[in-house]
Amino acid sequence: MEEYQEEISRIRALLGSHPEGLSITDISSQLQINRNSVAKYLDILQIQGAVDGRKRGTSKVYYHSQRLLASSVRRICTQPMVMVNEEGMVVDFNASFSVMSSVPEERILGQHVDTLPVKILEGGNARQVTTAAIKGIEQRVRIQVLSGNTVTPATMLLLPVVFDTSRPGVALIIEKDTDPGSSGTDLTTTGIPGLVENQVEYTVHHTPEGIILHVNEPYCRAAGKTREDLVGRQFAPLVSAEDTERIRVHRSRLTPQYPLGRIEYRAVMADGDARWQRWWDRALFNERNELTGFVSSGIDITDLVETRQKLTRTKETLEESINNRTDELRGINRQLYTEMTRREKIEQQLLHTQFAMDHAADMVFRVSRNARIHYANAAATEGSGYAPETILTLTLGEIFPYFTLPQWDDVWETLKHSGALTTKTDLVSESGRAVPVEMAINYLEYHGIEFAFCFARDILERVRNEHALQLANKKLSLVSSITRHDIQNKITVLLGFLGRAKKREQDPVILMYMEKQERAAKAIRNEINLTRDFKDVGAEPPGWISVNEVVTLAIHQFPEAPVRFTATIPEVEVYADRNLLRVFSRLFEFLLHYGQGTTIIECSATETDAHLQITVSDNGSGIVPEEKESIFSVQEDESGYRELFFAREILSLTGITLRETGVYGTGARFEMTVPPGTYRFVPP
C-alpha cells in the first residue's frame, strides 16, 4: 500500500512541475512506472478530484485539478449560486438563487440541472455545459433567468469544484447583467470585496508583486492586524524558506490556460501557533494574457492534517495485516489478468468467427423459434435478392416456402431431438426466381435462448448435372437391358442346341467337350444375371431410411413362410442405399431356403461403442466355419449364395459392414455394423 501511495505522490509531484499537462506515456517514461499502473493511479486521482484530463491532439493529457473546494465557494459566494454533482443533480444552493428564480427550495434540491429556470443562450444546453465543467473546463455563458413571466438576462460562471467527499462537481454562479447587451462581468476581476467580505475562509487579492489590494476580516484576525495595516503591504505569510520557494514556484506556473493552483504549507499565526493552511491561488490575466494579480483563498486545515497524522499511525498498525493480504491480492490480480487475457482471445476468436460467417460462401441464416430471421450473411442477401435491412423483417418461410409455420413447428421439434437435419428445398428470391438449395439446419441453445443456424447452398448446377447424368444412365440402362436380353436369348438357344447334340452324340471325348461348352455358356448367363441385379445399385443417391419400416416390408414379402418373425428395433434411421429393402429380403430368403430346422427369425438393433448393431438371426443349424466367407462370394454355386454378395455390396456403399457371426449348430447370425454419423434415433 505504501508503494502505491509513494508512486501516486511521485505522479502528483511530476504533474505539479508540468502545468501544461502530461500523457500516460510521458508519465510512464519519466517515472519508469508501468503504463497500466499509471492509468490506474490517474483514475484514482481523478475520482479524488486531484487531477483532471483533457484531449490534446490524439492523446489525453493530465494536470493538477484547478477545482476550488465546494464548501469554500459556498461560503464566500453572495451571488445566486447552485451546486451540481457529477450526475447533474442539484446538491446545494444559496438563498439568493431561490429569491432570484422565485422557485421554492423544495423544488430545487435534488432536481436535475435541466429543470432549473435557466435558459442557456450559447455553448449548448444546460446538460452539455455542465458536463464540460464537471470534466474541469471552466465556462462562462450568457443565460436568461425565468421567474414567472419575467425574463432576466444574466451571465453564468460554471466553476469546476470538488466536494468534501473528493467527488467532482460544478458551481453555477449567476450575475445579473446591468446592461442587457453586455457580455457579463468578469467575476475574477470585479466585485471581489462583495464576494468575500466577512467570510470564514481567508481571502487575499494582491498584485503580481505581492502587494495586498484587499483582504477579508478572517484573514485580518488570523494575521493579528487591521485591514488598513495589511492593504498596500507585501502578502508574505510567515513560513519556512523552503515553503517560501515552493510558493514562488507554484505561482510562477499559473498561466492563462491553467490559472488555478493549490498549495499547502505551515504558517505561523499572530498568536504564535503554527497552523497548516491550504490556499487556492487564481492568477488574473488581462485580454493580452498579461498577469494582473492573484486572488488567493485559503482555509485552516490543521485539524485535517492532524487527522491525517492519526490515520498514518493507524495505518502503521494495520501494515502487518495488509502485508499478509498482499500476496493474496497479487494472486487475485494474476487470476484477473489471466482471465482478461483469456477473454481477449475469445473476443478475437469471436471476431474471426463473425468475419468468417459474414463472408462464408454458403448462405447463412440465424432463425428463432417463431421462424423469424435475426441474421443473414452477405451470401444470403445476395442469393435471396433482399436488402440486408429488409431480410431481417422476414420469416424463413417467406424465402423458403417449404418452411411454413406449421412445417417449421415440426422441424423445430425434430431439431430439438436430433440436433440437426439436412434437406433439399427451393429458395424463392425477391424477384420470384426459384433456386434449388441444399440446407443443413443446426439447433443451438445458449444461456436459455433457443435458435437455429441454417446453411443453404445453391445446387442448381448440381441438379442440372444430376438430371443429365440420370438421363444418360437411363439410356445406358436401356441399351444394357436390350443387349442383355439378346445375349440371354442367344445363350438359351445355344444351351438348347448343346442339349440336343449331347443326346445324339456317343463319342465320350466330344461329349466331354460339349459339357465344358455348356458350363461356359451357363457361366456367361450367370454373369449376365449379375449385371441385371446390379443395374439399380447406386442409381439414386443414398438417404435416411427407417430400419423398422424396411424390416416390416421385408417380412410382409414372406406371408406363407413356415417360420415366426420377431423384430425388436427402436425408432432409428440409417443412411443407406435405396435398395436396403432388398438386403433384408435376401437375408430372409437365405435363412428360409438354406437353414435346417429354422422356426424363428429374429431382427434386433442396439447401440454399442458409438456404433449401431443390426442383427438378423435364426434358430436353425447355422453356417459351418469354412463357409462363413464363401457365402458372400460373387460366384454362384449350387446353393445360390451370390444373393448375399449382392446384399453386402449394397450396404458397403455407405460404409455399413455385413458378416456372419453365428455358432454352427445353434443358428446363423448376420451382423450389420453401422458407423457413427450414418444413423440417428428419431421420435416415434
CATH number at residue 47: 1.10.10.10
Q: How many CA atoms lie within 13 A of 37 on its CB side?
A: 16
Give the pLDDT confidence of 154-173 residue by residue, as tens digits: 888 888 888 877 788 899 99
What is the CATH classification number for the domain harbouring 364?
3.30.450.20
Give the 3-state DSSP-derived string for 426-452, with helices as H, strands as E and coil as C: EEECCCCCEEEEEEEEEEEEECCEEEE
The rounded percent of the chain whose pLDDT value lies above 70 is 91
Residue 312, in any domain of the structure: no
* CB neighbourhood size of 442 (10 A): 13
Q: Based on the domain organization, do 512 and 573 belong to the same domain?
A: no
- Residues 376, 421 within the same domain: yes
DSSP letters for 589-628: HHHHHH-SS--EEEEEEEEETTEEEEEEEESS----GGGT
Band (640; pLDDT cuts 50, 70, 90): very low
pLDDT confidence bin for 638, thresholds 50/70/90 = very low
Task: Please give the Cα distance from 237 to 125 (Å, whole number).
Answer: 44
187 pLDDT above the threshold of 70:
no
One domain for residues 144 and 232: yes
**Spatial distance between the Cα atoms of 620 and 600, rounded to a whole number of angstroms:** 8
Structural domain containing residue 31: 2-64
pLDDT, the chain, mean: 84
Q: What pLDDT was estimated at residue 597?
A: 82
Counting the structural domains of the chain, the total is 5
Looking at the structure, tell me whether residues 111 and 246 fall in a common domain.
yes
Q: Are residues 559 and 659 in the same domain?
A: yes
Q: Which of the listed residues 410, 427, 458 is the one where a domain comes to its end?
A: 458
- Per-residue confidence (pLDDT) for residue 186, from 0 to 100: 41
Exposure b/e, 316-351, CB count within 10 A at least 16 = b: eeeeeeeeeeeeeeeeeeeeeeeeeeeeeeeeeeee
Radius of gyration of the chain from its Cα atoms, rounded to whole angstroms: 48
Residue 337 within any structural domain of the chain = no
Please check the confidence at residue 180 and state whether its pLDDT lies above 70. Answer: no
Interval 445-473 mean pLDDT = 85
CA–CA gap between residue 129 and residue 138 (Å, rounded): 9
Q: Which of these ranges, 78-87, 156-165, 249-258, 673-682, has the smallest mean pLDDT?
A: 156-165
Least-confidence region, from 209-223, 463-477, 559-573: 463-477
Domain boundary among 300, 316, 338: 300
**pLDDT above 70 (res 477):** no
Q: Is residue 335 part of a domain?
A: no
The lowest-confidence range among 147-151, 383-387, 447-451, 524-528 is 524-528
pLDDT bracket for residue 461 (50, 70, 90): confident
pLDDT tens by residue, 99-149: 888 888 888 888 888 888 888 887 678 888 888 888 777 778 888 888 877
Q: Quote the pLDDT of residue 103.
A: 82
Same domain, 431 and 521: no
Residue 562: inside a domain: yes
Distance CA 602, CA 152 (A): 103
Q: Does 228 have pLDDT greater than 70?
A: yes
Q: Are residues 677 and 552 in the same domain?
A: yes
Q: Let me know if residue 588 belongs to a domain.
A: yes
Amino acid found at 583: V
Mean pLDDT is highest, among 66-80, 241-255, 303-317, for 241-255
| Pair 60, 72 in one domain | no
- If asked whether residues 150 and 280 sit together in one domain, one would say yes
Quick one: what percent of the chain has pLDDT higher than 90?
Answer: 25
Q: How far apart are CA 591 and CA 383, in angstroms?
A: 54
Q: At what angle do helices 2-16 and 35-47 cross, to 10 degrees?
A: 80
Q: What is the CATH number of the domain that holds 557?
A: 3.30.565.10
Specify burial of residue 368 (Cβ count, 10 A radius: 0-12, 13-18, 19+). middle
Out of 90-104, 529-543, 547-561, the most confident range is 547-561
Q: Assess if residue 353 is contained within a domain.
A: no
Q: What is the pLDDT of residue 684?
A: 66
Task: Read off the pLDDT band of 194 (50, 70, 90).
Answer: very low
Is a pLDDT exceeding 80 seen at residue 521?
Answer: yes
pLDDT tens, residue by residue, 279-321:
999 999 987 788 989 999 888 888 888 887 888 788 787 777 7
**Residue 72 shares a structural domain with residue 173:** yes
In a domain, 81, yes or no: yes
Confidence at residue 527, expressed as pLDDT on a 0 to 100 scale: 67
Out of 427, 458, 489, pick the residue that ends a domain. Answer: 458
Instruction: Verify that 429 and 547 share a domain, yes or no.
Output: no
Whether residues 246 and 261 share a domain: the answer is yes
Which pLDDT value is given to residue 123?
67
Phi, psi of 141 (to 5 degrees): -130, 155
* Global confidence as pTM: 0.34
In a domain, 523, yes or no: yes
